[in-house]
Amino acid sequence: MTTPGSTQDTAKLRLGTATPGGGFPVYGAAFIAAVQGADPALAIEAVNTKGSTENVPMLEEKRLDIALVQGEVVHEVLTGVGRPRVDLKIITAMYSTPGMFVVRADSPYRTIADLKGMPIAWGAAGSGLVILGRYVMDGLGLDAAKDFQPVYLERAGDGPAMVLDGRVAALWGGGAGWPGFRTVTSSPQGGRFVAPNAAEIGGILARHPFLKPISQPAGSFPGQSAAIPSVGSWSFVMVRPSLAEAIVARLAQALHRAEDRPGPQLAETTTKNTLAAATPSMLHPGVLAYYRQAGLHP
């Protein structure tokens, strides 16, 4: 395999992200910078979409080459929950997503039970975070659409202002450096997180074992002094299976080389995390080919 950026042919790729103001566009920009820093001949265009649930059919229809997809959507796509199974493959794990709510620091809400019946911004309608919220609430015996006043956003970036001005009681979200959480916790009013307690986490995992216990590390956001246990999954960069194996191998190689300078958005985007979060059968053959050639996987 030639050195990235030397004698490689130029390849033009379209990367599906999500609505502006959410975590996926921020991650997508960091992903593109990392890949092109290692392999400038990979020309990647970011495409704003409605999120995970639109990215999947766009990959199927070859309107996208690669796309960011929330873990719960990956689970449904690969196992055929509510739809036929789709033969999409994974390039890399993105980051872990412990789902939780953010509320204003001066609000009275301390538990998920306190939020019942209140207006909740679940996220953009096409976002995988909305699906994560449904699974988590279902694990608690609640219906996200009926036991709360659900608000679905046109743009993910609209949610924080709705929390801060009182139009909603809480914003649901998750993920490393997630912009919605950062905006609320950085505001003059400040923010506080509401997550499932230990007993609730046990109930959620018993009902939906594909979810995993994940903690948001201390110091992830302003004012967050302690780790916050919750449940969630890994999000992934997925690829249409017909994309040439050599191109996908170059993407895997570029990402592996970028691990030496990941930056905050790509801190969890590693070969080790990818192999831990996904089985080999879920990975694109080009990824496996590079991993084996580089001695990263048997």
Q: Is 175 left (phi over 0), alpha (psi -120 to 50) or beta?
A: left
Domains and their CATH numbers in the chain:
11-96+234-293 (3.40.190.10), 98-232 (3.40.190.10)
Claim: this prediction has a pTM higher than 0.85: no
Distance CA(72)–CA(54), nearest Å, equals: 14
At 3-34, the pLDDT tens digits run: 444 447 899 999 999 998 888 999 999 999 99
At 234-286, the pLDDT tens digits run: 999 999 989 999 999 999 999 999 998 878 889 999 999 999 999 999 999 99
pLDDT at position 84: 84
Q: How confident is the model at residue 94 (pLDDT cuts 50, 70, 90)?
A: very high
Work out whether strand 212-216 and strand 228-239 pair parallel, antiparallel, or are unpaired: antiparallel
CB 129 within 8 A of CB 136: no
pLDDT at position 54: 95
- DSSP 8-state class, residue 2: P
At 121-145, the pLDDT tens digits run: 999 887 889 999 999 999 999 999 9
Nearest residue to 66 via CA among 80, 76, 56: 56
The answer, yes or no, to whether residue 166 has pLDDT greater than 90, is yes
Distance CA(145)–CA(140), nearest Å, equals: 14
pLDDT at position 86: 85
Nearest residue to 99 via CA among 167, 162, 171, 164: 171
